[in-house]
């Protein structure tokens, strides 16, 4: 999937109330904001304004104040603003995210559902908490970002299967950015917080201290080090029961750990993550897990490289300069979902109708794709790379595979294809003799 993509950039300073109101008023001037009046109210199941107020006043009083400004700016009742844009029990579509913490850099891909992505990069400087720049989710929440002290944080969904009363992921990221200056402070906060769902949180501070916090409703386990990769599953043995079936996460982690060991420079790390043919770049937009944006942070310099979509030319953002009062000079980020490549989307069901030969795979790279429950009858593969692809419950009747084929390592039902072909060649020779 390739599609032009635009993310608006909003800047807000002042009291928390002012930040909320400025954010709402700036949003209403965007293309999506102008359609806001047609949006239906989404009231979470068993929502309680009193409970939400108690949680926010305990953990994030500035966000409670910000919601008042947001409600006034959007011209909606406070109860609706709190229900939709705070700690309400709204469900989150599956998301997949990758992060690398190495050589004093924090790099990250955020993979999500196109329809639910906020398309807002927000720079805020509320009085009483740290200034920060990050990607918004439901206005008050953040999916990742960096604050004025150089602390970087991002979320990685593991599972929604087990739930208990607690704070939601996007609010947790926001609280870390608002209240913590170092990885040590962030880890201590994440140990105290009550986690409602299972998420990984990747962290890196200006001192180069990296960590992955595996947070489930049962416990919090921390991995620390100078070369870390993080995906969408837990590694701690005690947390394995919370992992969901997620082949993409298990496929991404080895590549992320390789990037970490290589200690890439910032520009090379950005390309390694954002290249549309990278092993960690995700094209599953049709199933809600395509790569939406890439960030590479240099915490010691308080700088971020940000690009949206794939194969992006990153924008350089001076977080420290912005916190000192300098404007960003950036109204929007523009790019293309899927980048310049058009590889096969392994989340898409492909069906080739059997009427006549159909040449549907021509000159394509389908590395590591998963074909499952797919009809490929009478299909033709020409100049196609299927390295690492997996086929499960596939109909290959009358399929044509042309010459110049490399079958190294390919197996069918546990038998090497090269061995099958060699055996067939020997049989043909003996019959002809």
Where is 67: in which H helix or E strand?
Answer: helix 61-74
What is the per-residue pLDDT for 422? 76
Note the pTM of the prediction, 2 decimals. 0.79
Distance CA 265, CA 355 (A): 52
Distance CA 328, CA 304 (A): 12
Q: How many domains does the chain have?
A: 2
Q: Does one domain contain both 320 and 391?
A: no
Q: Does one domain contain both 400 and 258?
A: no
Distance of CA 341 to the CA centre of its chain: 19
Residue that is last in its domain, among 337, 366, 395: 337
The angle, 0 to 180 degrees and rounded to 10, between the axes of the packed helices 61-74 and 169-179 is 110
59 in a structural domain: no
CATH number, domain of 158, equals 3.60.60.10
Q: Does one domain contain both 183 and 322?
A: yes
Q: Does one domain contain both 206 and 329?
A: yes
Distance CA 271, CA 292 (A): 15
Give me the domain span that covers residue 136.
3-12+92-337
Q: Does one domain contain both 226 and 326?
A: yes
140 in a structural domain: yes
Residue 23 sits at φ, ψ, to 5 deg, of: -60, -45
Q: Does one domain contain both 136 and 239?
A: yes
406 in a structural domain: yes
CA angle, residues 16, 116, 199, in degrees to nearest 5: 75
Distance CA 356, CA 21 (A): 61
β-partners of residue 312 are none
Q: Does one domain contain both 317 and 420?
A: no
Instruction: Write out pLDDT tens, residues 78-91.
Output: 999 999 898 765 56
Query: Beta 210-215 vs 220-225: how paired, if at all?
Result: antiparallel
Furthest C-alpha separation in the chain: 91
19 in a structural domain: no
98 in a structural domain: yes
Instruction: Write out pLDDT tens, residues 269-327.
Output: 999 999 999 999 999 887 778 999 999 999 999 999 999 999 999 999 999 999 999 99
**Tokens in use for 362?**
């021509």
Q: Does one domain contain both 303 and 404?
A: no
68 in a structural domain: no
297 in a structural domain: yes
Q: Does one domain contain both 144 and 281?
A: yes
Q: Does one domain contain both 328 and 385?
A: no
Q: Does one domain contain both 194 and 281?
A: yes
221 in a structural domain: yes
Q: Does one domain contain both 313 and 391?
A: no
- Tens of pLDDT along the chain (433 residues) come to 568 999 999 999 999 999 999 999 999 998 888 888 777 777 666 788 888 899 999 999 999 999 999 999 999 999 999 998 987 655 666 778 999 999 999 999 999 988 889 999 999 999 999 999 999 999 999 999 999 999 999 999 998 887 777 888 999 999 999 999 999 999 999 999 999 899 999 999 999 999 999 999 999 999 999 999 999 999 999 999 999 888 889 999 999 999 999 999 999 999 999 999 999 999 988 777 899 999 999 999 999 999 999 999 999 999 999 999 999 999 999 999 998 876 545 544 444 444 444 444 544 455 555 565 555 655 656 545 566 666 655 656 666 665 556 677 777 766 777 777 777 777 766 666 5
β-partners of residue 365 are 385
């Amino acid at each position: 999937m390739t599609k032009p993509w635009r993310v608006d950039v909003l800047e807000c300073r002042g009291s928390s109330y002012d930040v909320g109101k400025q954010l709402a008023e700036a949003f209403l001037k965007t293309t999506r904001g102008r359609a806001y009046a047609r949006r239906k109210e989404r009231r979470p199941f068993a929502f309680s304004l009193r409970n939400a107020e108690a949680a926010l006043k305990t953990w994030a009083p500035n966000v409670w104040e910000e919601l008042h400004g947001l409600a006034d700016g959007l011209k909606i009742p406070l109860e609706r603003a709190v229900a939709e844009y705070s700690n309400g029990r709204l469900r989150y579509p599956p998301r997949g995210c990758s992060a690398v913490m190495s050589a004093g850099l924090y790099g990250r891909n955020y993979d999500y559902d196109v329809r639910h992505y906020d398309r807002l990069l927000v720079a805020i400087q509320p009085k009483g908490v740290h200034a920060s720049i990050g990607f918004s989710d439901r206005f008050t929440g953040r999916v990742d970002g960096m604050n004025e002290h150089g602390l970087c944080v991002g979320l990685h969904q593991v599972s929604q299967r087990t739930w208990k009363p607690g704070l939601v992921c996007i609010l947790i990221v926001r609280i870390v950015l608002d209240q913590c200056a170092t990885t040590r402070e962030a880890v201590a906060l994440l140990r105290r917080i009550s986690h409602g769902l299972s998420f990984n949180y990747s962290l890196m501070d200006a001192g180069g201290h990296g960590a992955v916090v595996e947070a489930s409703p049962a416990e919090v386990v921390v991995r620390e080090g100078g070369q870390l990769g993080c995906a969408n599953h837990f590694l701690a043995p005690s947390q394995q029961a919370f992992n969901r079936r997620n082949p993409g996460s298990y496929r991404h982690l080895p590549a992320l750990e390789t990037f970490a060991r290589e200690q890439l420079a910032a520009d090379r790390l950005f390309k390694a993550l954002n290249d549309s043919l990278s092993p960690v770049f995700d094209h599953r937009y049709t199933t809600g897990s395509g790569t939406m944006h890439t960030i590479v942070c240099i915490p010691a310099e308080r700088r971020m490289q940000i690009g949206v979509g794939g194969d992006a030319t990153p924008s350089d953002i001076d977080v420290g300069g912005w916190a000192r009062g300098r404007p960003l000079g950036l109204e929007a980020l523009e790019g293309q979902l899927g980048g310049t490549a058009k590889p096969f989307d392994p989340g898409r069901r492909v069906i080739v109708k059997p009427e006549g030969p159909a040449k549907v795979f021509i000159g394509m790279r389908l590395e590591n794709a998963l074909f499952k429950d797919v009809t490929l009858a009478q299909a033709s593969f020409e100049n196609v790379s299927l390295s690492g692809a997996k086929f499960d419950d596939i109909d290959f009747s009358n399929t044509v595979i042309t010459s110049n084929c490399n079958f190294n390592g390919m197996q069918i039902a546990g038998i090497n294809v090269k061995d099958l072909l060699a055996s067939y060649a020997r049989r043909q020779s003996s019959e002809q003799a």
